[in-house]
Structure formats: C-alpha cells, structure tokens
Amino acid sequence: MKRNLILILLTLTFTSCFFSDYESEKTQSSTGNFEIYATVNRTDKNADNYADVIIHLYDKKNEKLTELNTGAGDANKWTIGWTELGDTIVLQSSDIGNKAWILQNDQPTEIKMTDELNERAEFLKSIKYE
C-alpha cells in the first residue's frame, strides 16, 4: 500500500511539471545593460500565446522594456541566452530554427543568423540539455 501511494505521488509530481506555466531564470547580458527571461503559457489553451516561448526584456534598472513572442513552440527543445560580447539575444529552437535579436534603442530587432550566432545557439543548447 505504501509503495502504491509513493508511486501515485511521484506520478502526480512529474505530471504537474508538464501542466504548469514555465518561467526561466533571468540571464544578464555581457554588458550588464539588460536581462532576459523566458516564459511559456502551458495552462491556458485558449490564449493566443499558448505554448509559445516569450522573451521578457529588462534594463539594468530592472524596468521591463518589452515582451517578444519568439514564434518557437514549447513542444520541442529550445533555449535563450546572449552572445558572449554585446547585447544580442540568441534563441536556439529545434522547432523554428535559430534566431537572434540585436538591441537598438532598448528594443529587439531580428538580425540575420551568421555562423557565429548559430554556433552560440548550439552552445547554449548543449549547456541546457547536457
């Protein structure tokens, strides 16, 4: 009986992880001027952003600048981060491919992916999914 109870509790714990909204830790850019974190709406299927990876951008005063719907879905592997130098956001997505945004006037502007940006995206993926 005790064994069955433990199995039921473990099952409920693991399934609750998949049926709750997701929020990542904040990550600071190399310049220290910005921070980002990602959220995923996993609970409200009627919302326009259901299962979308949303990036939240903050300045160094911790004031929210914008939200960016990346277009990536949560059903596949994904991760976000920064380039090693500068204020460029990098997304690695097994769903839609890699993307990057440079910050201009405190707003993200999508830029063309380069070999260097793709390498950074794959490096970020390797850290998250070791």
- Helix H or strand E segment including 106: none
Q: What is the pLDDT of residue 14?
A: 47
Parts of the chain with a pLDDT under 70:
1-19
Q: What is the pLDDT of residue 15?
A: 46
Q: What is the pLDDT of residue 1?
A: 65
Q: How far is CA 33 from CA 19, 51, 86, in A?
A: 34, 29, 9
CB 76 within 8 A of CB 57: no
Give the residue carrying structure tokens 């299962």: 51
Q: What is the pLDDT of residues 112-123, one digit of tens each?
A: 999 999 999 999
